[in-house]
Amino acid sequence: MISMHTSPLQQPGSGDAGGMNVYVLNTARQLARQGVEVDIFTRATRPSQGEVVEVEPGLRVINVVAGPYDGLEKEALPTQLAAFAGGVVQFHRCNDVDYDLIHSHYWLSGQVGWLLRDLWEVPLVHTAHTLAAVKNAHRSADDSPESEARRICEQQLVDNADFLVVNTHEETKDLVDHYDADPDRIVVVSPGTDIDLFTPGTDRNTERSRRLLGIPLDAELVAFVGRLQQFKGPQVLIRATAELVRRDPGRKLRVIICGGASGAAATERQYMQLAHELGVSRRVRFLDPRPPEELVTIYQAADIVAVPSYNESFGLVAMEAQACGTPVIAARVGGLPVAVSEGETGLLVDGHDTNDWADAIEQLLDDDDTRLRMAGEAVAHAANFSWSASASQLASVYSEALSVEVEECPPRRERAGGRH
């Protein structure tokens, strides 16, 4: 596996680490437990990491030195593709290891995987996780667009990967509509959640969680978990909070926003400043990114988890929250209508209008019976998604890819539509 721009061992919610990190680490772990040996190549960001980290039997993380350990923005990572690819080739040559298949994650990794595919004459499976064309189509008005260079690189991967793995059927449509992808080479593999870790809280657990977080037991608590960037929509929740307080100043509403700033221009301070300008800074608490074991506390303490993203390939936070028995209010975008069963485990909101989000939050907070019913159904819904099942589906994709002989000099793939 290749995960160049972010290590699966990095804390999700910090920097560029997020749902992809969770996906890569958990699918790799389950694949290893099912007998598939996995090496994950990622860019080294600390000299103390060591080159090889043994995660568990059958699973290693290989830290490749490519560029400076720190201070390199994500936007500058394309300058290190050659160095990173060279590091992977050197490890392969010097460590007496042969790989049967490459699975790349995100477009940067895909560019390296594409090179190695032809060098080693093995199949390439690629998972985009996010797509430039889709992000640009759904971005907020004040969010920076993804570059045309990235879109072109993604088009090359769509054209040349042996199989494309996506999270939902909606992503299949995105690849076909925006990149002229061949549907026969696209496979849907639903992500999972750790239902042994993310478990529903009892009344005692909820009380304990609120005490740990310093939240009054009689408060209404809405939580946001994710990277702090416009695309994830924390500003949507902050504005909806201000609207709810305007409607009812006496409302005992509290909000927790857990995550770190992401992107060259993003800072936690801009969201704190927004809360201050809207007069809700005393109601909104910002927490640094937490490991999964501590996120359970936040999910169990919350009455609702909000996922106001402008697009999500699936929505792992929504699934983790539901596994903990917490209803979710999410934007009706990307894979979130799959992750959240509307009317059963939560609500879906069309768009990102402040009043619409305030209405949805108010509706669920004011209807205890519906919220409690959704809490129970959320647990059952999340139980249908497991990392073990995801890994088994991936193993089947790998087997199919390996059954097709990789041509030494494959013909150039022509695409319909002429998008270049």
Q: Dihedral sign for Cα 403, 32, 17, 330, please.
A: positive
CA distance 332 to 366: 22
Establish whether 18 is an annotated binding residue: yes
Supply φ then ψ for residue 159, to 5 degrees.
Answer: -75, -30
Q: Say which amino acid occupies 210.
A: R
CA distance 105 to 110: 6
Establish whether 356 is an annotated binding residue: no
Establish whether 99 is an annotated binding residue: no
Establish whether 384 is an annotated binding residue: no
Going by C-beta distance under 8 Å and a sequence separation of 6 or more, which residues neighbour residue 59? Answer: 28, 29, 31, 32, 37, 38, 40
Establish whether 232 is an annotated binding residue: yes
Distance of CA 134 to the CA centre of its chain: 15
Establish whether 156 is an annotated binding residue: no
Establish whether 299 is an annotated binding residue: yes
Establish whether 19 is an annotated binding residue: yes
Closest CA to 62 of 78, 44, 80: 44
Establish whether 300 is an annotated binding residue: yes
Distance of CA 333 to the CA centre of its chain: 14
Establish whether 74 is an annotated binding residue: yes
Establish whether 312 is an annotated binding residue: yes
Establish whether 150 is an annotated binding residue: yes
Establish whether 326 is an annotated binding residue: yes
Distance of CA 262 to the CA centre of its chain: 13
CA distance 60 to 53: 6
Residue ranges at the known binding site for UDP-N-acetyl-alpha-D-glucosamine: 11-12, 19, 227, 232, 290, 312, 320
Summarize the annotated binding site for Mg(2+) as residue ranges. 299-300, 302, 326
Binding site membership: which residues? Answer: 5, 11-12, 16-21, 74, 106, 130, 150, 227, 232, 290, 299-300, 302, 312, 320, 326
The annotated binding site for 1D-myo-inositol 3-phosphate is made up of 5, 16-21, 74, 106, 130, 150
